[in-house]
Amino acid sequence: MRMAFDRREFVKIFSAACSMLGLQATAQSTSQTQDTVPRTMAHAVWAGGRATKTRPNVVAIQTKPFSWIDEGIDTVLDNLQQKGAVNTVYSYTYDTDPNRIHKNGRLPGHGKFAPDGLRTGGGYFDYDPKFFLDTNIKEFRSFDDGEFNVISDVAPKMKARDMDYFALDFNNPFPVMMKTIPGYVEVAEVDIDGLRTTVPCYNHPSYRAFLLGKIEVYLKQYSEHVDGIMWSAENMGPFDNMIGGDWAMIGVSCFCHYCREKAKDRGISVERAKEGYRRLQYLFRPGPKMGQRPPDGYFATFWRTLLEYPEILSWQKLWMDSYTELRSELYGAAKSIAPEKPFGFHIQQNVTFSPFYSAGEDFAQLAKFSDFLKVATYNNAGGPRMGRLVERLADTVFRDTDSAKLLPVYYDMMGYHEATVPEITLNGLTSEYVVSAAKRIMADVGDNTKIYPGIDIGVPTSATGEKKTHADDVRKAVTAAWGTGVPGIALSRDYSEMELESLAAAGEATRAFLSKRG
Ligand SMILES: [Zn+2]
């Protein structure tokens, strides 16, 4: 009772204070009140009262923690600013990707080969443990680069150059994290057979608290240094994983305790969902297509399975909703602490390839809880990536046909006009792909968020003979992207992979375009 009275008193006092200051209780306010009234602030955000400040003509670039060490912070910043015309750095602060160029690879004219030994990943910054009281993931400081602090060692040098420092919180699931970060295994998704996977579950409260804790660190502990956040996590739900392709994880999941509880609330039968997925796995099993084709054909049998087991799509929706819910929660938390700082998301390239993943990732919805969306539209690496996805579609849902016959229909569905699968695999996609994808997404979001297409500069292609990005490709893609009317671009994937000549081509194209636009 006493508590209830105090809270009522607090609301009265707060309302009175607001009215004295000429503010409405739901209005944007100063950071001093935000910590005490996060719900009110979140409501203000949802009500459309965004206070985000974004610089015009964002030219962002993604930079790995080791680049600062290998080349020196000033040298990197000189290259980014002078060659690339970069004004915003998405600096990997939390990085789960162990990939580096090794001694048998080829450096792009700068940087160093990876040292021998395991790269653990984790957070490349120091943090106050008080932000991680509600999670079992407490020890995630990476010492891959010694005591180097990728926030406090780098951000001040960027401020001096009038560049913005964005924390790139990169949560893509890589198996190494399960070995190197205590607590990760406990929050992992559980697959259809009850096995832990190497992907953390968004419905696990401990994992959510960990993700939230990092946002608080960036915006509270490093409030002087961090100008904004780009949050990234590339993974997919059970249906998309079953189709496969570059972003698929092993295992149809998640069937952990928390996901099962959530399913129970929605009235979805766990056992029927599992049975439905087992039937699809059997229908699309590897082997000769024609030899195992059902009498009514693959597609009709696929559709019949969905009719018999609507739990298949219900479980997929459960996963996607959880992913969306998590991102909106992180956005709301960030806005309650620092409403003026842009908070956005990296969106994986599969959204531009797969009609199924695209259907689930609703941009109109994402626009409600993002200040910007950096969409991976890597045209060169996109060729083989799209080719592999079309092959997977022709091996699963459209198994009655083959990829060559499917391709024209696929292009019509997705609005692309590119070459044959063997050709796009070898030569990549044109800059028209970037234009088409960017325009479609901009039409989805209207003025509710900003779209920054990701420009391919040396994104690795996997097989021998597949084309590498040339400076001229970069020039075309950058010019094409700006031509769609986007308010910014993001040079991708990582500075450490980019030829300096290509980076300079991006900068020249940007300067040429912006000088005309004025
Ligand atoms: Zn789960």
Cα–Cα distances in angstroms (integers) from residue 113 to residues 37, 469, 494, 496, 510, in the given order: 48, 20, 15, 10, 30
Q: Give the pLDDT confidence score for residue 13 in this predicted structure.
A: 41
Question: How far is ligand 1, taken at its centre, from the CA of residue 95, in Å?
Answer: 22
CA distance 13 to 10: 5
Question: How far is ligand 1, taken at its centre, from the CA of residue 191, in Å?
Answer: 9
Does residue 192 sit in helix, strand or coil?
A: coil
Question: How far is ligand 1, taken at its centre, from the CA of residue 360, in Å?
Answer: 18
Q: Phi and psi at residue 172, in whole multiples of 5°?
A: -60, 135
Domain over 58-236+319-517 is classified CATH 3.20.20.80: yes
Question: How far is ligand 1, taken at its centre, from the CA of residue 93, in Å?
Answer: 26
CA distance 17 to 253: 49
Q: Give the pLDDT confidence score for residue 246 in this predicted structure.
A: 78
Q: Give the pLDDT confidence score for residue 463 in this predicted structure.
A: 67
Q: Give the pLDDT confidence score for residue 250 in this predicted structure.
A: 77
Largest CA distance in the chain: 78
Question: How far is ligand 1, taken at its centre, from the CA of residue 482, in Å?
Answer: 40
Q: Give the pLDDT confidence score for residue 3 in this predicted structure.
A: 40
SS3 for 25-42 is: CCCCCCHHHHCCCHHHHH
Q: Give the pLDDT confidence score for residue 12 in this predicted structure.
A: 42
Question: How far is ligand 1, taken at its centre, from the CA of residue 264, in Å?
Answer: 13
pLDDT mean for each 10 residues of the chain (518 residues):
40 39 36 39 51 94 96 98 98 85 88 86 97 97 92 98 98 89 95 94 98 98 98 95 81 95 98 97 90 95 98 98 97 96 97 96 96 96 94 96 97 96 94 96 96 94 78 96 97 96 98 89
Tokens (6 digits) for 46: 């949802």
Q: Give the pLDDT confidence score for residue 464 in this predicted structure.
A: 66
- The per-residue DSSP string of 277-338 comes to HHHHHHHT-SS-TGGG--TT-HHHHHHHHHHH-THHHHHHHHHHHHHHHHHHHHHHHHHHH-
Question: How far is ligand 1, taken at its centre, from the CA of residue 260, in Å?
Answer: 7
Q: Phi and psi at residue 181, in whole multiples of 5°?
A: -115, 115
In 339-378, which ranges are continuous DSSP H helix?
355-360, 363-366
Q: 166 in the Ramachandran plot: left (φ > 0), alpha (ψ -120 to 50) or beta?
A: beta
Cα–Cα distances in angstroms (integers) from residue 235 to residues 170, 199, 245, in the given order: 12, 8, 11
Domain definitions of the chain by residue range? 58-236+319-517
Question: How far is ligand 1, taken at its centre, from the CA of residue 253, in Å?
Answer: 7
Question: How far is ligand 1, taken at its centre, from the CA of residue 200, in Å?
Answer: 8
DSSP letter at 448 equals: S
Question: How far is ligand 1, taken at its centre, from the CA of residue 254, in Å?
Answer: 5
Q: Give the pLDDT confidence score for residue 49 in this predicted structure.
A: 61
> Angle 471-483/500-517 helices, nearest 10 degrees?
30
Cα–Cα distances in angstroms (integers) from residue 484 to residues 73, 179, 452, 457, 489, in the given order: 33, 44, 11, 19, 11
Question: How far is ligand 1, taken at its centre, from the CA of residue 492, in Å?
Answer: 31
Question: How far is ligand 1, taken at its centre, from the CA of residue 447, in Å?
Answer: 34
DSSP letter at 469 equals: P
Question: How far is ligand 1, taken at its centre, from the CA of residue 195, in Å?
Answer: 12
Tokens (6 digits) for 10: 């607090």
Q: Give the pLDDT confidence score for residue 2 in this predicted structure.
A: 39
Question: How far is ligand 1, taken at its centre, from the CA of residue 183, in Å?
Answer: 15
